[in-house]
Amino acid sequence: MSPAEPSTSAEPRSPADSPRVRFAPSPTGYLHVGSARTALFNWLYARSAGGTMVLRIEDTDESRNRPELTDAIFEYLEWLGIDYDEGPSYQSDQRERHREAVQQLLDDGRAYLCDADDNELAGTEMADGRAVRFRTPEGATVIDDVVRGEVAVDHAQLGDFVIWRSDGSPTFVLANAVDDADMAITHAIRGEDLLSSTPRAVLVAEALGATPPIYAHLPLLVNEQRKKLSKRRDDVSLESYRKRGFLAEAMANYLALLGWGPRDGVEIRPMAEIIGQFRLEDVNKAPAFFDIAKLEHFNGVYIRELDAEELLVALEPHLTSEDVPWPPERYRPDVVAAMAPLVQEKLRTLDGIIPQVDWLFLEEPTIDEQSWDKAVVRGKAAPEILDATIATLADCPWDPDTVKDAVFAAGEAHGVNRSKSQAPVRVAVTGRSVGPPLFEPMVDHLTREEVLRRLQTARSHL
């Protein structure tokens, strides 16, 4: 994308102008939920208001930029369904334009050169090894933020700030102010953590004769302790959530509600309806709780809406990854196809399919110790139920109803109800006390010999 011609005057924009927004990530880390929420809110505003979405890669920090991180930005925007109308443009390509802007500020007396000891130098000629500071005037800057309302900052708090580093690179504030002006950005929708830099950006833009964008600073995302989400402390990576089996539609739907809500109160809905409901002025300035349990609930709803073929396609990467507990040669797609409809209602994440079916692909089930202790060790008449079940299953017809009746009869003979009588058998065969329906999958997908071996192994451990 070629940037628009630089603004040369501070002409006010008409409210009727089509809005132009930008998502401007830095490729210095993998995209996280906070950045994804920012991208989504920019996109929602552009789509709801008939505006333009611009993607700008802010890659001026050469020491930390990596190509794979830029590629990941593209990948995850596509995954979430966030498209853009212009871009990607790269801030590093605008280095000379940034230098020209700084030189203009120097020539106009709005900035000054500094030597290596940060002392002001006479003259305005830029050269390598010299930094440039913006000459902050007296007074105050008032920002009419769409989300936070009026924010006033006394210039005495800002001081004279650096706009050009001695290594020959622009600072974040300078590059943002220039690029927003050159791209005719009307609305800068970004995280609250950038609010402190906004007065500086406004001062630079106005000194260059440009009209600053309208700002909307989105509320912080916080964890259950109401602390700001942290990469060091919290699970914030989109990659992590995708690997766990969160559907893109569920994630986008949930992110849209972090700081905003539809006026009709309906939260889980198609993105087209969210676009129709979205109003930037409805964004709340209070911190937004990133609630994993609520996200899992959303994801479960979306999983249940998948048809049989869509569900199998979504599950397949999680069942064939290198992390599954069973040997690849024991995996059977036909078994998954039969089991998926039985467990679909229980799934909150796609990787939740693994503990539902692993017992059908493992040589021996992985025994959950808590389930074993409750159902087998402390379970009423567990040894007797296992003994009777082993004896009956050794030569009875191998069909679900007969096997089920044998287990229930063993329990009833010792005063145990049906739900509790199958508990030791379930743990012995599947490794867990909860899971999908037991008898049909066990008979259909395991041999009599495999089932008897597991029952005998459990009995021998008592």
> Which residues are catalytic, by number?
231
What's the one-letter identity of residue 140?
A: A
Strands (E), 273-348: 288-289
Nearest to 57 by CA among 29, 89, 99: 89
Amino acid at 413: A
Per DSSP bridges, beta strands 288-289 and 221-222 are parallel
* CA-based R_g, the chain, Å: 31
- Cβ within 8 Å of residue 377, ≥6 positions away: 462
Q: Are 224 and 216 in contact (CB under 8 A)?
A: no
Strand partners, 142: 152
What is the residue whose two structure tokens read 């900052």? 153
Q: How does strand 52-57 pair with strand 20-23?
A: parallel
